[in-house]
A and B are shown apart, each in its own frame.
Chain A
Amino acid sequence: MSVKLMQGNEAIALGAIAAGCRFYAGYPITPSSEVAEVMARELPKVGGKFIQMEDEIASMAAIIGARVGGLKSMTATSGPGFSLMQENLGYAVMAEIPCVVVNVQRLGPSTGQPTAASQGDVMQARWGTHGDHPIIALSPISVSQAFDLTVKAFNLSEKYRTPVILLTDEIIGHMREPIELPDFTTVEKYEHVVTEPPETYKPYSNRTDVPPMAAFGRGYRYHITGLFHDEVGFPTQRLDEVEPWLERVNSKLERNPDDILLYQADYQPGARVAILSYGATARTARHAVKQMRARGEKVNLFTAYTLWPFPEKAVEALADSVERIIVPEMNLGQLALEVERVAGRRKVTRVNRANGEMVTPDMILAAMER
């Protein structure tokens, strides 16, 4: 292993390849394009395939199609493209097709500021596609973690047959930091194994949280649809077939919190205030906390790496430990809504910046005085 200086976007691309991603479809958009450029260069070297599609709708469709054909797949985009992907992101949820969608957040709404940082798509990642649905969103705080969480995103996506959103931001995506890359052959990869013979295989069996997925062209000829479907995959409107599906799919993530919910809780006995943050802003929060602790002030620090599903229990515990939670974000208050929801009567102080610039340590320190 050797140290390299690398952008977050490059680390994401390499993390994908390490995780076994062998198909990438995308459409150029700042500040995510480096992911596509690295994938275009690296994928053919490992026998993988890259295609630049006509738009983000098609990109999202193509990665689902490729995964149906048996290749682990990914796309990367930013706000405007992420909006276009919502349609087929919902399809991947409904048809339970694993795939990874990287959103390098930039300032919105609309075209906004392409080169400016933001965390404005947190709620879109949760609810961007229509209808009630489960979703996983992970948010790295460093270049090195961008690699690790991309690997994690692939494995969770496969294990739970769900799209996983790697919700990063322009700061992490474009920042260069030292990273030590592991030997890719040693990286853990989740693979589906179908043991049922084709005659009895049920791609959407409700007898288990996540039925194994068979790829097309391997003897399992089944139907995949975005309509509500029965256990075999055929469209249905029968309540006795729809309801077990709803129950299984909407609780498959909740039932596996230890696997999915990633966070770091750094408690100091006697602290009365906690800071909860994620993504690039978590770096600022750490900076502020170190300054406070150096002055002898006690403060708890909570860093969320999994944003969705929201780590409710851990945040409840955090709320129990202090009187107040400060939530800095590069938006007008999005994850703060979730913190407020689970924090009970604890005071939640929002620290917001939505002009393309990072929250500063001083802004967090000032919130301590509020």
Chain B
Amino acid sequence: MKILVCISHVPDTTSKINFIEGDTKFDTNGVQFVINPNDEFGLTRAMWFKEKQGASVDVVNVGGPETEPTLRKALAIGADNAIRVNTEATDGFYVARQLAKVVQEGGYDLVIAGRESIDYNGGMVPGMIAALTGTSFVNTCIGIEVEGDTATTIREIDGGKETSTVKLPLVVGGQKGLVEESDLRIPNMRGIMMARKKPLTVVDPIDANQETKAVQFEKPAPKGDVTLVDADNIDQLVELLHNEAKVI
């Protein structure tokens, strides 16, 4: 089985978010970048396929040279090959078109991409890859097993889950549940050393339109102070929620 895991290079979940150049650009100063958490669950699941069922695992990212440490980390975790499409990842549609080409050329049986990145939260790349390549697609995937050419998937639905079967090739939008948080791997020294020797291929982008553009950023308005209610006066909380907040 040939697996491709799409990796987004995103600010660490604890990052403070600030903008520069008249709020038109994300301020990367002092920000630690990581593998997008939704992608990391998929990467770890891919490692299990590799170890238990003998799959090969490629990772791909659309981004500039500054994203390479993130790809190297994926190699250190155990991916075999990395591909970087050398262009700035701005619009999700544009990114999906770049990735669709990599998917088509690589002949993958399974493509795993996080259901959304935690920076732009576009939530469109996995579905668009599937649609652009005419592949089957399961979003918000929280479980997958493959036997022969058939996958059994579990997807999260509002208020529950749904189990399906589908023939490969398949694109999944992954998230926590594919593996658990405790299953995630921290690269060890051997992995890091080996990752240096693994191939990281840089490919040129294809010509594609930017269909959307984030032209301006805003931070939420500062929040007022909390209104504290005495633990012995819960009546007051009910009253405030009813009369002031008008939510009950």
Q: Do A and B come from one complex?
A: no
